[in-house]
Amino acid sequence: MRNVKGAVCIKCGAEFEAGDDTYTCAKCGGILEIVYDYDYIKPRISAQTFANDKNFSMWRYMQFLPVGEGARPGPLRVGWSPLYKTEALGKTLGLENLYIKDDGLNPTSSLKDRASAIAALRAVHAGKDTVACSSTGNAASSLAGAAASMGLKSVIFVPERAPQGKLTQLLIFGAVVVSVKGDYGATFRLSARAIEKYGWYNRNAAINPYLSEGKKTVSLEIAEQLGLAAGVPAAAHGAYGFTAPDFVAVSVGDGCTIAGVWKGFKDLYAVGLIDKLPRLISVQAEGCCPVNRAIERDAPLEPMEENTLADSIAVGVPRNGDKALAAIRESNGITVNVSDDEILAAMRLLGRSAGIFGEPAGVTGTAGLIKAAERALIPHDALVVSIVTGNGLKDVASAQKAAGIAGGVKPDNSNEPKLIRIEPDMDLLTVEFAKRGICP
Ligand SMILES: *Cc1c(COP(=O)(O)O)cnc(C)c1O
């Protein structure tokens, strides 16, 4: 890997080679960060090389990925998810330049596919035939899908509360599924012991420093797609330029996603493709916000209970907290905590104003952005991107709560569009419509 210098511990600064079994720091147990040789990368890329590249997936950024030059990625199309300019939603929030990056449109319907694609590729490289991880759900389903597409076996540990949609994906992708009677912490610990015992390839994102490198491609795409959308010419190259947003809102669980998002922008900055860095908006659920609380109190991370319906970010002990804290601080970021009701409201608003359907953790970033906009923390003309990290069909039970047909909410008591249950009779339909002021 000529583009990679090695790995460095973000805690003690110890340096390592970037090998197949380079996981956590051998000296202090800290999390590792992959370090690139930007002097090597810079002459090999330009806005023009990207403009000419017809590979519309995360693999168009091979120069920024730790996979080696001859690497042959799997067949699934991961990445290059759409970046929508959401005018109506922007208007509601008083933001003139609001974009939504819909990463629920990846092969297994979450941003995690970006990390799992790297994991599967590196597992093949390491000569492993089985990959394993513990997960709140999406890392699992994405790993199982990536493994299936590349002829690898997968063993997946999930906490028993994982939503049915995600569990079902795992079984369809042929994974061995271990549903652990306990919380995510207990699930993680059991998986770590089993992985050690059986020698499988470890896709636990906080342990495996290569994975947030995959996740960072979401930022590379955002910057390239913003340039495309605005038609910004890159004078030096005669092609459109990459463009950094002013703010990026994203939900935070273990912290690998937000750390990856930050790394992506820093990579582009390091090679001169963007000339400024965005501020991160780190959004967590009120009932489980250890990362944001550490920032707000300027105190070390402390475990919290996992009280939120946003299962993908119900992480009481963030496994990549240090990287997340560093990313938020370095970016002069904003923290926002949202209630479950605010998450469900964001789900409805995204659906109704933009046609985008996210799972609870998928729309949590947007819920936080809504709150930040209400508090006037975001200038009205700022260039803002909110990443939807997972698709709404993964967790239909929560979506039904948002829609007002489950969880004790009576649809008739709300102002929202209503579910009309009716006999097949036109006269009855007319009556029901009249009652609700529909087509009077
Ligand atoms: C995993 C996940 C997140 C959070 O990512 P972390 O790396 O755990 O912080 C957010 N949204 C969805 C849908 C996820 O699956």
Q: What's the pLDDT tens digit per position in 132-159?
A: 998 878 999 999 999 999 999 999 999 8
Q: Is 104 in the pocket of ligand 1 (CB under 6 A)?
A: no
Q: Is 290 in the pocket of ligand 1 (CB under 6 A)?
A: no
Q: Is 106 in the pocket of ligand 1 (CB under 6 A)?
A: no
271 in the same domain as 126: no
268 in the same domain as 153: no
pTM summary value: 0.94
Q: Is 254 in the pocket of ligand 1 (CB under 6 A)?
A: yes
Q: What is the pLDDT of residue 19?
A: 85
For ligand 1, the distance from its centroid to the CA atom of residue 257, given in whole angstroms, is: 6
Residue 33 has pLDDT above 90, yes or no: yes
105 in the same domain as 38: yes
Residue 274 has pLDDT above 70, yes or no: yes
pLDDT class for 279, splitting at 50, 70, 90? very high
Q: What's the pLDDT tens digit per position in 162-207?
A: 888 888 999 999 999 999 999 888 998 999 999 999 999 998 877 7
Q: Round to whole Å and give the CA distance between 319 and 2.
A: 29
Q: Is 292 in the pocket of ligand 1 (CB under 6 A)?
A: no
For ligand 1, the distance from its centroid to the CA atom of residue 393, given in whole angstroms, is: 16
Q: What is the pLDDT of residue 183?
A: 85
Q: Is 390 in the pocket of ligand 1 (CB under 6 A)?
A: yes
Q: In the listed set 178, 202, 226, which residue is the last one of a domain according to the structure?
A: 202
Ligand 1 nearest-atom number relative to CA 254 = 8
Residue 261, domain extent: 4-109+211-397
For ligand 1, the distance from its centroid to the CA atom of residue 206, given in whole angstroms, is: 12
Best mutation site among 204, 211, 291, 312 for ligand 1 pocket (most ligand atoms within 8 Å of CB)? 312
Least confident of 117-126, 235-244, 368-377: 235-244
Q: What is the mean pLDDT of residues 73-98?
A: 97
301 in the same domain as 218: yes
Q: Is 361 in the pocket of ligand 1 (CB under 6 A)?
A: yes
251 in the same domain as 354: yes
Residue 105 has pLDDT above 50, yes or no: yes
Q: What is the pLDDT of residue 439?
A: 79
Q: What is the mean pLDDT of residues 285-313?
A: 96
For ligand 1, the distance from its centroid to the CA atom of residue 262, given in whole angstroms, is: 14
Q: Is 331 in the pocket of ligand 1 (CB under 6 A)?
A: no
Q: What is the mean pLDDT of residues 386-395?
A: 96
Top-ranked range on mean pLDDT: pick from 199-213, 268-282, 416-430: 268-282
Q: Does a structural domain hold residue 338? A: yes
Q: Does a structural domain hold residue 232? A: yes
361 in the same domain as 259: yes
Q: What is the mean pLDDT of residues 277-289?
A: 98
For ligand 1, the distance from its centroid to the CA atom of residue 297, given in whole angstroms, is: 23
180 in the same domain as 143: yes
For ligand 1, the distance from its centroid to the CA atom of residue 389, given in whole angstroms, is: 7
Q: Does a structural domain hold residue 408? A: no
Q: What's the pLDDT tens digit per position in 115-135?
A: 999 999 999 989 999 999 988
Best mutation site among 81, 106, 110, 343 for ligand 1 pocket (most ligand atoms within 8 Å of CB)? 110
Residue 84 has pLDDT above 60, yes or no: yes
Q: What is the pLDDT of residue 226?
A: 95
Ligand 1 nearest-atom number relative to CA 135 = 1
For ligand 1, the distance from its centroid to the CA atom of residue 154, given in whole angstroms, is: 20
The domain that holds 149 is classified in CATH as: 3.40.50.1100
Q: Does residue 239 or residue 133 have the better pLDDT? A: 133
pLDDT class for 410, splitting at 50, 70, 90? low
pLDDT class for 339, splitting at 50, 70, 90? very high
Percentage of the residues of the chain whose pLDDT score is greater than 90:
76
230 in the same domain as 197: no
Q: In the listed set 171, 202, 233, which residue is the last one of a domain according to the structure?
A: 202
Percentage of the residues of the chain whose pLDDT score is greater than 70:
95
Number of domains in the chain: 2
148 in the same domain as 26: no
pLDDT class for 419, splitting at 50, 70, 90? confident
Q: Does a structural domain hold residue 409? A: no
Q: Is 110 in the pocket of ligand 1 (CB under 6 A)?
A: yes
Q: Is 260 in the pocket of ligand 1 (CB under 6 A)?
A: no
Q: Is 313 in the pocket of ligand 1 (CB under 6 A)?
A: yes
For ligand 1, the distance from its centroid to the CA atom of residue 195, given in whole angstroms, is: 22
Ligand 1 nearest-atom number relative to CA 324 = 9
Q: Is 395 in the pocket of ligand 1 (CB under 6 A)?
A: no
93 in the same domain as 118: no
Q: What is the pLDDT of residue 237?
A: 47
pLDDT class for 414, splitting at 50, 70, 90? low
Q: What is the pLDDT of residue 51?
A: 87
Q: In the listed set 361, 382, 397, which residue is the last one of a domain according to the structure?
A: 397
Q: Does a structural domain hold residue 15? A: yes
For ligand 1, the distance from its centroid to the CA atom of residue 378, given in whole angstroms, is: 23
For ligand 1, the distance from its centroid to the CA atom of residue 37, given in whole angstroms, is: 28
Q: What is the pLDDT of residue 299?
A: 96
For ligand 1, the distance from its centroid to the CA atom of residue 34, given in whole angstroms, is: 20
What's the mean per-residue pLDDT of the chain?
Answer: 92
100 in the same domain as 217: yes
Q: Does a structural domain hold residue 21? A: yes
Given the structure tokens 């930050």, which residue do they identify?
A: 262
165 in the same domain as 219: no
pLDDT class for 427, splitting at 50, 70, 90? very high
Residue 245 has pLDDT above 90, yes or no: yes
Q: Does a structural domain hold residue 358? A: yes
Q: Does a structural domain hold residue 37? A: yes
Residue 409 has pLDDT above 70, yes or no: no
